[in-house]
Amino acid sequence: MDIIGVLAKELSVGRGQVEAAVKLIDEGNTIPFIARYRKEATGSLNDEVLRNLDERLKYLRGLEERKAQVLAAIEEQGKLTPELKKEIEGAQTLVAVEDLYLPYRPKRRTRAGIAREKGLEPLADLILLQMISGPLEKEAAAYISAENGVESAEEAINGAKDILAERFSEDAKYRAWIRKATTEEGLISSEAKDEKTESVYEMYYHYEEPVRKCAGHRVLALNRGEKEKILTVRIGAPKERILGYLEKQIIVRDNPATTPVLRETIADSYDRLIAPAIEREVRNDLTEKAEDGAIRVFGKNLEQLLMQPPVAGRVVLGWDPAFRTGCKLAVVDATGKVLDTVVIYPTAPQNKVAEAKRVLKNLIEKYGISLISVGNGTASRESEQIIAGFLKEIPENVQYVIVNEAGASVYSASKLATEEFPNFDVGQRSAVSIARRLQDPLAELVKIDPKSIGVGQYQHDMNQKHLSEALGNVVEDCVNRVGVDLNTASASLLEYISGISKPIARNIVAYREENGAFKNRRQLLKVAKLGPKAFEQCAGFMRIPDGDNPLDATSVHPESYPAAMELLKRLGSTADGAAGGIPGIGKKIRDYGKMAEELGIGEITLRDIVKELEKPGRDPREEMPKPILRTDVLDMKDLTPGLILKGTVRNVIDFGAFVDIGVHQDGLVHISQMSRKFIRHPLEAVSVGDIVEVKVLSVDPVKKRIALTMKI
């Protein structure tokens, strides 16, 4: 197989781009590094295309490896024909290879295997030839043998039928046709095991729809309902059409002795062997596609969440709400340093509101707090009402934000949080996390297992290895897109930088603690286990704002420093001038192609250097919508159909998006209410973190459901 050609066609990119990307991947370069610093070689393939290329490259190489294993196994049996070899070599999927290998795969003892041991294969071949002139029993009588354990002609015929049934079930061409027919014409259905059971699966108690139309989120819901023993799920295939196809393929002439036997054998082969296997395969295929879709959506949501703009330069009060155990507060300065922690009891059962307000007033006056970050968990609603009332009573200009606290409790109980705050309890750590995830969402959220961040759907039912890899890639791409301050970044953040492993991240922090702040990027080579290759991969993503070399504060890679210095010289500037940015420097270059040639670099690299020199260390998160800051609270009872509000998209799922409109309960915008034009998926219209204008369609206080529309 021409893997390079296949990848170029699938990704709609040039063959040369694929060849360069594959070579770079094979040399051990990371995707973020290739995407950022090897644009010349790949023709500017972005990280998303490179991730897809890497994934497909692994699959296609695995496919070629499996083909070699299968060919060797069949050849060892002495059964490899030129035709079969050609079929296996030409197979495009692992399923096709396994179908072709099925007849030669070592088996446990089957009915057909027992019949072969009894010497009945020649009788099976004879029946399949369909040339018997007399009664079949007469031919079968020749196979009666006490030695072989065949006591009658009927037993011999049944054994031959078992051999043929297995043979039909293992025919790759038949399986491919039946799989396709089942997928395109089959029905997926579910029934309740006990209709009296109340559950979230009630819509699936009597459910049926075509397999090809079953959306991913419904497939995952059915799987979960089945796993929880609430539903029975079935795939109904077009059986009559399948049997008709098999008879047409197998029964080549009408023979009174063999035709009825072959019809029975075909039906048995389908019911007993083919149908259960194909049902499993179709269900697995549906699940795999549903998981891939859900992981893609989860990844996109996670990316948007991680790339939310930091709220910089503010002293923030983190508020972890609770009832009985009290609300934990943490004051965090503009750099993320914890200044104070305290517990207040304004909620039930203590209801010490006046005392809580006194504590809040003192904290605001003492530390200059201008923003309160409130977690959206238990008692969030009650806390928000107290905060909104309190803010009206004080002269200071203080605002609050409700933040998604998903994963805060996971982090606060983790080994990492214990190491970071050994003297804090889990509530205090959680309050710190809630404050910091507003100040710098990326730096804080990398400490939490991506699966626990709460922007997915059915994440616990998926292939956990695949999910972890995909989400890890998303985090890695986000961290490298933003870059990190080498002198303040935590080990949790550093380990996502290109070329940096967990042990090296810990070594960087240890070096920093022992030797003080890094003065230049070259010092990284003094860090234990960080060699030249790791340095090449990571250096461009590490920033040193006040170091020896102003270029260390930019994303210009050290390998391009000589070219950058020469460029500055030619344009009448210096590296010192680059520290704060040199506006309009790009306009001084008349011919980029010529300048790049003179500097000995590519034109794309030159344009990237110029962009960095104009605005060094530009944070791509600045382009994202800022969080909505509030001073007052809305109640569900304040909502009426027709009311128009601004809200923040909290989660995007296959059938819509959940929007925080400031009433504690997120409202649902169904996919049909997102756009006046047709969209296939909600991600075409919104992303996590988007600020959207919505209109209330309906409110159900009992079920706590709010239906919204964006079609205003």
Burial of 131 (0-12, 13-18, 19+ CB in 10 A): exposed
| Two tokens, residue 509 | 């922090």
Mean per-residue pLDDT, 229-250: 97
Per-residue pLDDT at 457: 67
**What is the arithmetic mean of pLDDT over 174-188?**
97
Supply the pLDDT for residue 664. Answer: 74
Three-class HEC string of 241-306 = HHHHHHHHHHCCCCCCCCHHHHHHHHHHHHHHHHHHHHHHHHHHHHHHHHHHHHHHHHHHHHHHHH
Confidence band (pLDDT; 50, 70, 90) for 404? confident
Between the alpha carbon of residue 523 and those of residues 496, 505, 518, 548, 631, the distances in Å are 19, 14, 7, 11, 47
Residues with Cβ within 8 Å of 539's Cβ and at least 6 positions away in sequence, in order, are: 521, 524, 557, 558
DSSP character at residue 677: S
Mean pLDDT of 317-344: 96
- C-alpha 18/C-alpha 213 separation (Å) is 34
List the one residue out of 178, 295, 172, 288 whose CA is nearest residue 235.
178
Quick: pLDDT tens for 6-51: 999 999 999 999 999 999 999 999 999 999 999 999 999 999 999 9
CA-nearest of 317, 316, 320, 315 to 425 is 320
Instruction: Identify the pLDDT of residue 332.
Output: 97
**What is the C-alpha separation between 218 and 388, in angstroms, rounded?**
40
pLDDT score of 299: 92
The whole-number pLDDT of residue 125 equals 97
Mean pLDDT to the nearest integer, 674-688: 94
- pLDDT tens column, 602-652: 999 999 999 999 988 788 998 888 888 888 877 888 899 999 999 999 999
**Nearest-angstrom CA–CA distance, 91 and 98:** 10
What integer pLDDT is reported at residue 635 of this predicted model?
81
Bridge pairing between strands 667-670 and 656-660: antiparallel
CATH of domain 135-297: 1.10.3500.10
CA distance 314 to 580: 22
The CATH class given to the 502-622 domain equals mainly alpha
Q: Looking at 314-318, 373-377, 478-482, which range is the least confident one? A: 373-377
| Residue 586 pLDDT level (bands cut at 50, 70, 90) | confident
Structure-token match 């038949």, residue found: 174
C-alpha to C-alpha distances, 50 to 27, 307, 382, 664, nearest whole angstrom: 15, 20, 47, 40
Q: Which CATH number fits domain 3-104: 1.10.10.650, 2.60.40.790, 2.60.40.2470, 3.40.50.80?
A: 1.10.10.650
Rg over alpha carbons for the chain, rounded to the nearest Å, is: 33
pLDDT band at 572 (very low <50, low <70, confident <90, very high): confident
How far, in Å, are 173, 254, 316, 492 from residue 446 at the CA level? 49, 70, 20, 6
For position 625, what pLDDT does the model report?
A: 80
pTM of the full structure: 0.86
- Confirm whether 316-439 and 502-622 share one CATH topology: no
Say which range, 68-77, 145-154, 376-385, 549-558, has the weakest mean pLDDT.
376-385
Give the pLDDT band of residue 458 (cuts 50, 70, 90): low
Q: Is 648 helix (H, G, I), strand (E, B) or coil?
A: strand
The mean of the pLDDT values for the chain is 94
Instruction: Write the Ramachandran bin of 662: left for phi over 0, alpha for psi from -120 to 50, otherwise beta.
Output: left
Cα dihedral value 460, 465, 466, 468, nearest 10: 70
Does pLDDT of 59 surpass 80?
A: yes
In the CATH hierarchy, which top-level class contains the domain 316-439? alpha beta
Residues in Cβ contact with 578 at an 8 Å cutoff, skipping those fewer than 6 apart: 550, 551, 554, 564, 568, 613, 616
Under the banding of pLDDT at 50, 70 and 90, the label for residue 101 is very high
For residue 364, give every residue at least 6 positions away whose Cβ sits within 8 Å of its Cβ, in sequence order, or none: 317, 394, 396, 398
Per-residue pLDDT band at 407 (split at 50, 70, 90) = confident
* Architecture in CATH of 636-709: Beta Barrel (2.40)
**Model confidence at 456: pLDDT above 80:** no
How far apart (Å, rounded) are the C-alpha atoms in residues 73 and 642?
A: 69
Q: How confident is the model at residue 582 (pLDDT cuts 50, 70, 90)?
A: confident
- Please tell me whether the peptide bond between 550 and the residue prior to it is cis, using omega within 30 degrees of 0: no
Give the pLDDT of residue 607: 95
* pLDDT more than 70, % of the chain: 99
- Average pLDDT score over residue span 81-110: 94
Give percent of the chain with pLDDT exceeding 90. 83
CA distance 160 to 485: 74
Alpha carbons 352 and 342: distance in angstroms, whole number: 14
Domain positions in the chain are 3-104, 135-297, 316-439, 502-622, 636-709
Q: pLDDT of 254-269, one tens digit each? A: 999 999 999 999 999 9
Task: Give dist(CA 111, CA 14) in Å, integer.
Answer: 53
Task: Name the least confident of 273-282, 405-414, 559-568.
Answer: 405-414
Q: How far apart are CA 212 and CA 54, in angstroms?
A: 28
Report the alpha-carbon distance of residue 605 to residue 612 in Å, rounded.
11
Q: Strand 542-543 vs strand 656-660: parallel, antiparallel, or unpaired? A: unpaired
CA distance 534 to 30: 10
Give pLDDT, residue 662.
84
Nearest Cα residue to 644 out of 581, 601, 692, 604: 692
Q: Which residues pair with 400 in a beta bridge?
A: 372, 630
